[in-house]
Amino acid sequence: MNAAAAEPDAVAERVRIEVERTIARSIRGVEYIASPAPAVGVTPKELVRKDGTFNLYHYHPLADEIYRVPILIVMATSNRGYVLDLARGSSFVEFLLRSGYDVYMIDWTPPRPDEKRLRFEDYTHRFIPESVATVQRRSGEREVTLLGYCMGGVLSTIYAASHPRDGLTNLVCFTTPIDFRHMTLFQQWSNPKHFDVDRLVDTVGNVPADLIFRGFEMLRPASRAAGQVQLWDNMWNDEFVQSFRMFERWGNDTLPLAGEYFRETTKKLMWENGLFEGTLEIAGQPIRLADITVPVLHVAAEHDHIVPRDASKPLIERVASSDKHELVLKGGHISVAAGANARTRLWPKLDAWLAERST
């Protein structure tokens, strides 16, 4: 006797479940198309400083007792910061606030046409220092923790190396590239043999978001189609659909980049590998990782398709800090910090590390 004949009740239950899910997919598929995009970035905050593409937010406290040292998050320049604040209960920012931290964020909006001349020094020697000074003034504390995500981590690292006496007390980096030789597909994409960055920037000014988005999409060309299949398979699951829509919205919300900043990123980091080689200069100042002596925590993802492990590994190796640690966790470039698993894999570990260094 086969298993199906032996267990008719189990087979019937399986059929019932599949029928219900098929009906739910059909109904919710229509709802998915007709409904507005889900709200994101819902944690209350105040815009305390703005200068074109640059925005500094201060989040409202959610705990009665607050750690002394505030946290300043520096978001990647190509993406919006709400990926760290997607929804109540699954927001990294909310977690920090409820854990007792005073949280600020540098977030970006599309650069204006007249901002096409923004350079690295505008980000690392103007926007971040101005933000640190604002945080110090508002909090009444000189010491600040800087937390950079991806290219925000690169900018934070450059700031830490070039401003050792401005009050930085801890440096936290998420998935931050240092050795750009190992940014393999980006290296192929920007190969000077076929990529004329000068012609691009001189012609269009700010680099369009679509070009940046296509560059990321090339890393996983089948991911969009696979994602749609996965969405349909799980259309009956409200929690999955909500999460998918929020991450999809964020992924599609790629930002243009200031033209000169993009040119410098291509030449100084991708082609010359200046941050790793120690040849990078910003505003005439040499940038050396060995000049970083504050406590450093780097978070890397095992399955990061954007910043491969070999690209981020040298950060901890090169800084001169005696207090330096690295967490290599399961997950991808985004999910390691913002996905559902980050709530158990990363957030408690980060809280423990910060708590010891924030009093």
Active site residues: 150, 304, 333
Residue 298 phi, psi (nearest 5): -115, 135
> Angle at the Cα of 283 (from 282 to 286), degrees rounded to 5?
45
Task: Decide: 120 and 261 in contact? Cβ < 8 Å.
Answer: yes
71's tokens: 């946290």
117's tokens: 């001349």
Q: How far is Cα 50 from Cα 56, in angstroms, rounded to an integer? A: 6
Task: Decide: 328 and 302 in contact? Cβ < 8 Å.
Answer: yes
Strand order in the sheet with 45-51: 45-51, 54-59, 103-108, 71-74, 144-149, 168-174, 296-301, 324-329
Q: Determine the residue type at 86.
A: L
Task: Decide: 91 and 41 in contact? Cβ < 8 Å.
Answer: no
CA proximity to 155, closest of 297, 326, 275, 250: 275
- Angle between helix axes 128-139 and 151-162 (nearest 10 degrees) is 80
Q: What's the distance, CA 323 to chain centroid?
A: 24
Beta bridge partners of 147: 73, 172
Q: Count CB neighbours of 32 within 10 A.
A: 15
191's tokens: 């190969």
